[in-house]
């Protein structure tokens, strides 16, 4: 990192050149360093453009078209012909778009044949891929969220609770309820996240055993039921209830050992052996979390009878050697603060919530990457 001092450049061209030289000598070890800093800064500034291009490719259907193509790669002419909504006059832009996304690591370019194929990263943009991350990108790149990010400085200068309120005059939850199109994108995001989580949750022995002795489970804020459905399929004798607000549950009906129930988690939660809270508590303030955990405690039996609450959420760990994980946790914490006026929590902060809500013990399993699985007992 370099500290830039303000420089006043004036006078003749010679004076300007001399001043620039003096600035470079004073602040950089070499002119090459200055060029390196310029390149890094340009990368930071233009990173949003790359995300916009990825969003464009998704909306055009390019990842899905390449995924469905039978041959090892698809020629540029065939790809252009397969784009249903492309205006013919814009066809020359497609190789420009593809070139950028090839350099981003999403597509392979096959020079012999002038064609393209998906990389392993590009597969994560395919709609029905079990590990697809396309809904995450579409959510963060939606105008609603872009306007929220653009309002951060305004929010810091007003007395509104969040940057989302600053941009839209209401909370995220109220916005989703009133705007079904955006609400569906958010629900898709949660469902996609659950599919990714299941791959680790039900494969890992230490996580899977958390569900083995249960007879009933309520997935609070379970959305469209993606996670609960996977758990219900893995444990046929376990009754799973998806519990969420009415406009999310809609007319969904359960089958077999799955049931959908509408309600407000701060009023009353259906009784069960265990309560599951995935990506729930990080949306709420400490006091709201304590209130919700108390409602959970009312709905489960004692620890001796197998009662527990299962939390899947981030436990902040700045001491981790995985820098990408730490950065991802910090970014998620930042997002929670500007959208929900909430936060991600450290182990010590989690422990305080559990004790304040009247729970006696807890156990943390740190084998879910960005997140942890926490069991708490009454």
Residues taking part in catalysis: 282
Task: Check the CA dihedral 212-347-336-299 and report its sign.
Answer: positive
Which residues in 357-367 are b (16+ Cβ under 10 Å) and which e? Answer: bebeebeebee
Structure tokens at 359: 């729970």
Q: Count the Cβ atoms, other than its own, within 10 Å of residue 28.
A: 15
66, 116 contact by CB (below 8 A): yes
Structure tokens at 87: 């205006």
* Alpha carbons 221 and 276: distance in angstroms, whole number: 9
Single out the residue of 243, 234, 237 nearest to residue 216, CA to CA: 237
Q: How far is CA 77 from the centre of its chain?
A: 35
DSSP for residue 320: -
């Amino acid at each position: 990192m370099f500290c830039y001092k303000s420089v006043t450049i004036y006078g003749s061209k010679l004076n300007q050149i001399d001043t620039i030289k003096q600035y470079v000598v004073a602040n950089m070890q070499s002119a090459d360093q200055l060029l390196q800093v310029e390149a890094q800064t340009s990368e930071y500034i233009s990173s949003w453009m790359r995300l916009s291009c990825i969003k464009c490719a998704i909306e055009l259907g390019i990842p899905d078209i390449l995924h469905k193509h039978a041959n090892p790669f698809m020629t540029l002419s065939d790809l252009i012909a397969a784009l249903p909504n492309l205006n013919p006059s814009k066809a020359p832009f497609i190789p420009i778009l593809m070139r950028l996304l090839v350099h981003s690591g999403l597509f392979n370019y096959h020079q012999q044949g002038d064609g393209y194929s998906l990389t392993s990263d590009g597969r994560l943009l395919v709609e029905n891929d079990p590990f697809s991350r396309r809904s995450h990108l579409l959510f963060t790149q939606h105008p609603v969220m872009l306007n929220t990010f653009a309002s951060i400085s305004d929010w810091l200068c007003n007395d509104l609770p969040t940057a989302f309120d600053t941009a839209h005059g209401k909370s995220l939850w109220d916005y989703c309820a009133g705007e079904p199109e955006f609400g569906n994108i958010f629900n898709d995001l949660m469902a996609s996240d659950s599919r990714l989580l299941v791959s680790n949750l039900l494969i890992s022995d230490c996580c899977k055993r958390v569900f083995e002795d249960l007879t009933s489970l309520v997935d609070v804020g379970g959305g469209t039921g993606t996670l609960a459905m996977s758990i219900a399929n893995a444990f046929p004798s376990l009754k799973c209830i998806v519990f969420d607000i009415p406009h999310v549950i809609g007319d969904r009906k359960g089958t077999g050992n799955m049931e959908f129930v509408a309600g407000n988690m701060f009023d009353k939660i259906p009784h069960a052996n265990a309560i599951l809270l995935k990506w729930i508590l990080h949306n709420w303030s400490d006091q709201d979390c304590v209130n919700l955990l108390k409602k959970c405690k009312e709905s489960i039996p004692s620890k001796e009878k197998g009662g527990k609450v299962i939390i899947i959420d981030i436990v902040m760990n700045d001491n981790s050697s995985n820098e990408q994980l730490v950065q991802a946790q910090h970014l998620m914490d930042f997002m929670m603060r500007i959208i929900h006026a909430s936060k991600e929590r450290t182990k010590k902060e989690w422990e305080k919530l559990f004790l304040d809500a009247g729970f006696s013990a807890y156990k943390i399993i740190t084998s879910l990457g960005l997140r942890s699985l926490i069991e708490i007992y009454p």
